Amino acid sequence: MAVGMSIDFGVVLASPMIVAGIVAGFLLVKAAVLVAIARAMPVPLLERPVFVILLAQGGEFGFVVFQAAQQARLLSGAQTSVLIAAVAVSMLLTPLLLVAADRLLLPRLNRRSPRSPTMDEIAEAQDAPIIIAGSGRYGQVVGRLLFANGLKATVLDHDAEAVEGLRQFGWKVFYGDAGRLDLMRVAGAERARVLVLAIDGVEPSLAVAKMVREHFPHLTIVARARNVTHYFALRRLGVQHVERETLDSALMSGRSVLELMGWEPHQARTLALRFRRHSIELLEQMEKLQDPSDQGALIAASRLGRQQLEETFARERDLAQHRHALAGWDSDAELPGDRREGKQGQA
C-alpha cells in the first residue's frame, strides 16, 4: 500500500507507451527464458503455459529495489513511478493471461499431449508382470527384447513428446511419472514381478527406487546406472540388479579394437567378458569402502584392481607364448594379437 501510494500517476498517465513497452519487453524476455527452462527440466507440456505465465510477471521485490534505488539517487521519482507501474501492470495482466491460455492454448496442447493414464486406459496392462519406468534409448532396447520374446510390459514415461513418438511406432506407452505412488499402483506394481528402472535422471531414479523398496518390496528392480556414483547409491537402497549403461557398449567397442589389432574373435570375446566380471567384482569391493570422506581408499582400491588385472593378463600372454614354443613354434611364431601373413595355423 505504501509503495502504491508513492506512485506519481500523473507521470504514468503521461507515458503510457513507455509503461506498455517495458511490460511487454520484460514479459517476453522472461517468457523466452522460462520456455527454455521448462523444456530442459522438463515440465510436462500441459503445465508449461501456467509455469511460464506465473513466473514471467514482475515480482514484489522489484518495488523494494526501485525504492532503494530512488533513495540512493540512482533513479528519479518519475523513473521509479514508471517502473513500479510496469511491475504492477504485469501482475494485473497475469490472471487475464491465465484465462486466455486456458481457453485458447491448452485445448490445442491437450490434443498434442498424452494424458496421465486412467484406470480404464491402463486396465489391460495391469496384469503385465513387468513395468518399465522410462522409455528412452535404454528402456526401448529392454522393451524390444522383452516384447520380441512374448513378454508383456507396462511402460511409463513422463516425457510427453517421447510417449507420442513411441505410440506412432506401435508401442503401448502411458504418460505419467513413475515416482507417483498412486500411478504405480494403477500400473499394477502390487501384482508385477519386475520393475525395469530406466529413468535418465539420477535423482528421479533413486526416488523411484526408494519408493518401490518401501511400498512394493516384492518387486525386483533391474536398474540402469549412469555412473559409478549412481551404481553405489542404488546398491545402498538394496537394488541388486544394477547395470552401468555404457559398460557393455564400451566392451563391445574394445572387442572390435582387439580384433582389429590381431586377436582372434573368440579370444577378444573371452577377454572382454573377463574384464566385465573383474569390473563388477571391483565395484563390489569398492562399495564396501564407499565413504565421501575417504576418496584415497577408493582411488587405491581402483589402482590395485587395475594392476591385478594387467598382471593377470600379462601372465596369461607369457604362458600362451611358452606353450606355443613348446609345441614347436620358432622365435618368429605368431603371438596373441600378431597376425603375420603366412604364420597362421602353425602349431
Q: Which domains does the chain have, with CATH numbers?
A: 2-112 (no CATH), 119-245 (3.40.50.720), 250-326 (no CATH)
Q: Helix/strand/coil (H, E, C) string of 164-176?
A: HHHHHCCCCEEEC
145-173 core/surface letters (b: 16 or more CB in 10 A; e: else): ebeeeeeebbbbbbbbebbeebeeeebbb
Residues 6+ apart with CB under 8 A from 266: none
What integer pLDDT is reported at residue 307 of this predicted model? 63
What local confidence, expressed as pLDDT, does residue 206 receive?
A: 94
pLDDT at 196: 92
> In the prediction, which pLDDT does 333 show?
43
Residues of the chain whose pLDDT is less than 50?
A: 118-120, 122-125, 292-293, 322, 325-326, 328-347
Q: What is the mean pLDDT of the chain?
A: 77
Burial classification of residue 299, based on how many CB atoms lie within 10 Å of its CB (0-12 exposed, 13-18 middle, 19 or more buried): exposed
Place of cell 496442447: 109
Cell 494424458 belongs to residue: 115
Count of CB atoms within 10 A of residue 336's CB?
Answer: 18
The DSSP H or E segment spanning 290 is: none
- Asked if residues 237 and 256 have their Cβ atoms less than 8 Å apart, the reply is no
Within 10 Å of residue 216's Cβ, how many Cβ atoms?
19
In the chain the first and final C-alpha atoms are separated, in Å, by 97
Residue 220, strand partner residues = 194
Q: Provide CB contacts within 8 A for 246, sequence distance 6+.
A: none
Confidence at residue 302, expressed as pLDDT on a 0 to 100 scale: 55
CA–CA gap between residue 341 and residue 347 (Å, rounded): 15
pLDDT of residue 344: 42
Helix then strand then coil, in percent of the chain rounded to 5, is: 65, 5, 30
Q: Which residues contact 14 (CB under 8 A, 6 or more apart)?
A: none
Cα distance between residue 176 and residue 115, in whole Å: 8
pLDDT score, position 29: 94
Q: What global pTM score does this model have?
A: 0.53
The pLDDT value recorded for residue 217 is 92
Q: How far apart are CA 156 and CA 195, in angstroms?
A: 11
pLDDT at 89: 86
Residue 59: other Cβ atoms inside 10 A? 12
- Work out the percent of the chain whose per-residue pLDDT is above 70: 71
